[in-house]
Amino acid sequence: MAINGISSTDSVMALRNAILQKNAALRDVAATPGSGGVDGVQGGGATGGASSDFTSALKGALEQVNGLQNEAGEAASAFERGETTDIAAVMLAKQKASVGFEATLQVRNKLLSAYKDIMSMPV
């Protein structure tokens, strides 16, 4: 199926190439001496910067999962209205949202478990 003269295979390959280029750029930045390691956080004790990094990372992940769920809902609605006939794209969007939600749920469960363990420690 061609969309505006571009086949779906070409668009997938272009997306794949873009991902590979970004991955290579991130690897180069992580390998640069003095960059602070792979996650960009320099060594040291527990600081306010590390907790804000965690908070911003968690917030970003939640926003990304929310975006995936919104995209899946919009794709399903467009399919139901007959605006698109690409069921594979709709199912792919649904699966991305489902995997993202399941991963978020597992992270939440691990955080709650760690919190309970910390709270049950004797002082």
Q: Is the pLDDT of residue 74 over 90?
A: yes
Q: What is the CA radius of gyration of the chain?
A: 20
For tokens 């070409």, name the residue: 10
Q: Which of 19-23, 37-41, 108-112, 117-121 has the lowest mean pLDDT?
A: 37-41
Q: Where are the domains of the chain?
A: 1-33, 60-123
Read off the pLDDT of each residue in 56-70 and give the average, rounded to a whole number. Answer: 91
pTM: 0.54
Rounded to whole angstroms, the Cα distance separating 113 from 117 reads 6
pLDDT at site 40: 44
